Chain A
Amino acid sequence: MKFEGWIFLILSWGLILGLTILCFQRVFLNKNKEDEK
Chain B
Amino acid sequence: MAGSAIGLGNFLRFPAKAAANGGGAFMIPYFISLLLIGLPLMWIEWTLGRYGGGFGHGTAPGIFHSISAKNRFIKYFGVIGIFGPLIIFIYYTYVESWSLAYSFFALTGKYAELSDQASLKSFLSGFQGIERNQFFQGIGAAYTFFLITFVLNIWVIYRGIRGGIERLCKWAMPLLFFCAIILVVRVLTLGAPSSLHPDWNISNGLGFLWNPDFSALKSAKVWLEAAGQILFTLSVGIGVILTYASYLKKDEDVVLSGVTAASTNEVAEVVLGGSIIIPAAFVFFGPTEIKTIATSGTFNLGFVTMPLVFGQMPWAEIFGFVWFFLLFLAGITSSVSLAQPVIAFMEDEFDINRKKAVWIFGIVSFIFCHAAIFFLKNGVVDELDFWGGTFFLVLFATIEVVLFSWVFGIDRAWDEMHKGAELRIPKIYKFIIKYVTPLFLFFILGMWFFQEWLPIIFLEKVPFVNQPYILATRIVLLLFFMALVFLVKISWDKKKLTKGTEN
Contacts and interface: CB of A to CB of B under 8 A. Distances in A.
Nearest to B208: A1
Given A20-B264, A20-B267, A5 B210 contact: yes
Contacts, number: 68
Contacts of A16: 263, 266-267, 270-271
B260 A1 contact: no
A36 to B, nearest CB: 16
B378 to A, nearest CB: 39
A27 B267 CA distance: 17
Contacts of A2: 204, 207, 211
B256 A30 contact: yes
Given A13-B271, A16-B266, A17-B271, A5 B256 contact: no
Q: How large is the interface on A (under 10, 10 to 19, 20 to 34, 35 or more residues)?
A: 10 to 19
Interface string B256-278: 10011001101100110000000
B24 interface: yes
Given A24-B260, A30-B253, A4 B207 contact: yes
A27 B207 contact: no
Contacts of A20: 260, 263-264, 266-267
A17 B199 CA distance: 29
B212 A3 contact: no
B270 A3 contact: no
A19 B259 contact: yes
A12 B204 CA distance: 18
Contacts of B208: 1
Contacts of B263: 16, 19-20, 23
Interface string B232-257: 00000000000000000000010010
B27 interface: yes
B479 to A, nearest CB: 43
Contacts of A1: 199, 204, 207-208, 211, 287
Nearest to B2: A20
A13 B267 CA distance: 8
Nearest to A27: B260
Contacts of B209: 5
Interface in A1-32: 1-6, 8-9, 12-13, 16-17, 19-20, 23-24, 26-27, 30
Contacts of B210: 3, 5-6, 8-9, 12
B206 A23 contact: no
B203 interface: yes
Interface in B193-240: 199, 203-204, 206-212
Nearest to B207: A3
A12 B31 contact: yes
Contact of B270 (A6, A13, A27, A30): A13
Contacts of B266: 16, 20
Contacts of A19: 259, 263
A5 B207 contact: yes
A23 B260 CA distance: 5
B256 A27 contact: yes
B422 interface: yes
Interface of B: 24, 27, 31, 199, 203-204, 206-212, 253, 256, 259-260, 263-264, 266-267, 270-271, 287, 422-423
14 contacts: A3-B204, A3-B206, A3-B207, A5-B206, A5-B211, A8-B210, A8-B212, A12-B31, A12-B270, A16-B263, A17-B267, A19-B263, A23-B256, A23-B260
